[in-house]
């Protein structure tokens, strides 16, 4: 369980700095692991993070990608537009030590859907969650094993990770779609 983090204003979140801290902490986790760590990025921001971590940590193989679209409880409101990313797991899930990687943890609903999707592919030995930012305001009993920052935003705002052409990460704040 994480040490409680002091909430920061979203305008002060530097995605590149948070990524460097995530990388530092994941290095320790990988070094202490009894079995290979398998990274799985949650579409879309988590995928960028997982692929970058995979390379920066020097892990063999490729990071996986997991989509929450087929198990979402809000599919009727999101529709087919949420199905642009397909789950790709380039390693055996059964018995794997999986770290789900995401950019922002908010209500917990995406994590619930991702866990359902992951278990459709097998039964991992362990599943842990690492995020850059924990927004709080959970609707489900989900907690990150590793959260780099905490930020409280009103429900009327989204915190979105984006990536520039040269691979740099930034956060943007947008109004929640109606």
Distance of alpha carbon 98 from alpha carbon 117, whole angstroms: 13
The pLDDT of residue 44 is 80
- Give 10-residue mean pLDDT values along the chain (178 residues): 75 95 98 97 94 97 92 58 78 98 96 96 98 95 97 92 95 87
The pLDDT of residue 50 is 98
The pLDDT of residue 77 is 54
Burial 111-133 (b: 16+ CB within 10 A, else e): bbbbbebbeebeebeebebbbbb
Distance of alpha carbon 77 from alpha carbon 51, whole angstroms: 30
The pLDDT of residue 2 is 52
CATH number of 15-72+84-175: 3.40.50.2020
Query: What is this structure's pTM?
Result: 0.92
The residue among 127, 103, 131, 132 whose CA lies nearest residue 115 is: 127
The pLDDT of residue 79 is 52
Residue given tokens 């990025």 in the structure block: 41
Which H helix or E strand runs over 170? strand 169-175
The pLDDT of residue 75 is 54
Residues linked to residue 104 through DSSP beta bridges, in sequence order: 133
Would you kindly state where each structural domain of the chain is located, as residue ranges?
15-72+84-175
The pLDDT of residue 24 is 98
The pLDDT of residue 85 is 84
Written as six digits, the tokens of 54 are: 């995979």
Distances (CA, A) of 99 to 33, 39, 135: 11, 5, 19
């Amino acid at each position: 369980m994480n040490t409680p983090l002091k909430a920061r204003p979203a305008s002060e979140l530097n995605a590149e700095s948070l990524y460097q801290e995530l990388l530092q902490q994941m290095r320790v986790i990988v070094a202490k692991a009894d079995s290979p760590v398998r990274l799985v990025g949650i579409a879309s921001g988590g995928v960028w993070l997982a692929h970058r971590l995979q390379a920066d940590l020097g892990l063999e193989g490729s990071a996986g990608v997991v989509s929450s679209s087929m198990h979402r409880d809000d599919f009727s409101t999101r529709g087919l537009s949420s199905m642009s990313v397909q789950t790709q797991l380039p390693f055996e899930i059964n018995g794997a030590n999986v770290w789900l990687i995401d950019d922002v943890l908010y209500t917990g609903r995406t994590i619930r859907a991702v866990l359902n999707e992951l278990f459709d592919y097998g039964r991992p030995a362990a599943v842990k969650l690492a995020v850059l930012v924990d927004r709080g305001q959970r609707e489900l009993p989900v907690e990150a094993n590793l959260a780099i920052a905490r930020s409280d935003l009103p429900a009327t705002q989204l915190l979105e990770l984006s990536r520039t052409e040269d691979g740099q990460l930034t956060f943007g704040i947008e109004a929640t779609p109606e």
